[in-house]
Amino acid sequence: MPTLFEPLTLGALALPNRIIMAPLTRGRATKAAVPTAIMGEYYAQRAGAGLIISEATGISREGLGWPFAPGLWNNEQVEGWKPAVAAVHDAGGRIVAQLWHMGRLVHHNVSGMAAVSASATRGPNKAHTYDGKQVLPEAHAATADDIAHILGDYAAAARNAIAAGFDGVQIHSANGYLIDQFLRDGTNLRDDGYGGPIANRLRFMREVVEAVASEVGIARTGIRLSPIGESQGANDSDNAALFTAAAKELEALDVPWIELREPGPHSTFRAADEPAVSPAMRRAYSGRIVLNSDYVGATAEAKLAEGVADAISFGRTFIANPDLVARIRSGAPLNEANPATFYSAGPEGYTDYPLRTEQEAA
Ligand SMILES: Cc1cc2nc3c(=O)[nH]c(=O)nc-3n(C[C@H](O)[C@H](O)[C@H](O)COP(=O)(O)O)c2cc1C
């Protein structure tokens, strides 16, 4: 069985190790969703990862409802990403862009626009906005024209990601955002070709994959799913059947890698008390599977040995440990992440977590 320190191929991407940085929203872009210089510093510090998956990045103004999150729908944003991506490459790393449409979880305070979803529903939680937390309004059900323009936005954002220098893209189909809203029968109440039976609910995801792959090639296209539990109000009456079918669909589409956020019942990030679907997805899908949530070095190695995962992605540990790969290799202790600075501004809790070598020298 491979270890975390063996190389891995994800389609067109050649990773020197299997320790992946999970996508992490950090809110350090401008209000116009343009990446800032400090983002390049932050990502370059973490270039030891086998692969960096960028923070979720809006494909359109309509789809981006997170304050100070970045986008990839215009030239200014592409130009803003270029030095950040180049900094990762200069430091010897690889980075893909996570493409994001938040669907019904967008508040107009941030987007300036009405929210769209699979059906006319409302997200359960209050949204982060520029004026504090606010109740989400009901989204409108996507029309055929909406779906066509959203697919066009995915394609354009994927094209822009490559123009900015990214090594590929990851489609964000997890965590209760737009694609997840189409997948699950708790949020998809449609009675047309995009709703009802599982095969129909998979259609929007499939069309997004096709739209993205038509721009960047399937070898540079990955996808993230959260197959168990409820995510920000998106739930399904049969997650196991839905996500096993999704794995089959992604196999048919030749998608080279899938990342799964599959927390356990005691997870400290959105726990889910439901059996893992990843073993069934493994049987239905021959590409690479990246597993996520709550892993540390020892549990990550054990998971690889089980044979379900080809790599592990680390979220909060990568926030707090820019040199996570070196720390896992040497068994060094880990810094604790500080949740108070997850979405704050500036360098504090962002680029100032110490390296192990600095701690030893101190
Ligand atoms: C501050 C923060 C921001 C996050 N942002 C994203 C995101 O942009 N996209 C995404 O798919 N998941 C996001 N997540 C979820 C993480 O990718 C990951 O699934 C979660 O942190 C659990 O993994 P961990 O236990 O290794 O931290 C975020 C989590 C945190 C804590």
Beta strands in the chain (DSSP E): 8-10, 13-15, 19-21, 51-58, 95-100, 116-117, 126-129, 132-135, 140-141, 168-172, 221-225, 257-261, 288-292, 311-314
Say whether 2 sits in a helix, a strand or coil.
coil
Per-residue pLDDT at 1 exceeds 80: no
| Residue 126 or residue 358, greater confidence | 126
Atom of ligand 1 minimally distant from the CA of 56? 8
pLDDT number for residue 273: 87
Atom of ligand 1 minimally distant from the CA of 342? 1
Over the stretch 15-27, which tens digit does the pLDDT of each residue have?
A: 999 999 999 999 9
Atom of ligand 1 minimally distant from the CA of 295? 26
Over the stretch 193-234, which tens digit does the pLDDT of each residue have?
A: 999 999 999 999 999 999 999 999 999 999 999 999 999 999
| pTM over cut 0.95 | yes
Q: How far is the CA of 23 from the centre of ligand 1 (A)?
A: 6
Q: How far is the CA of 74 from the centre of ligand 1 (A)?
A: 25
Q: How confident is the model at residue 181 (pLDDT cuts 50, 70, 90)?
A: very high
180 lines ligand 1 (CB under 6 A): no
Length of the chain: 362
Q: How far is the CA of 163 from the centre of ligand 1 (A)?
A: 26
Task: Return mean pLDDT, the chain.
Answer: 96
232 lines ligand 1 (CB under 6 A): no
The preferred substitution site among 261, 262, 299 for testing ligand 1, maximizing ligand atoms within 8 Å of CB, is: 261
**For atom 23 of ligand 1, which residue has the closest CA?**
293
Over the stretch 130-154, which tens digit does the pLDDT of each residue have?
A: 999 999 999 999 999 999 999 999 9
pLDDT number for residue 264: 80
Rounded Cα distance, 110 and 281, in Å: 36
Rounded Cα distance, 238 and 240, in Å: 6
Over the stretch 249-293, which tens digit does the pLDDT of each residue have?
A: 999 999 999 999 998 888 888 888 899 999 999 999 999 999 999
**For atom 4 of ligand 1, which residue has the closest CA?**
24
Q: How far is the CA of 155 from the centre of ligand 1 (A)?
A: 24
Q: How far is the CA of 71 from the centre of ligand 1 (A)?
A: 18
| Catalytic residue from among 43, 154, 177, 353 | 177
224 lines ligand 1 (CB under 6 A): yes
For the question of residue 177 being annotated catalytic, the response is yes
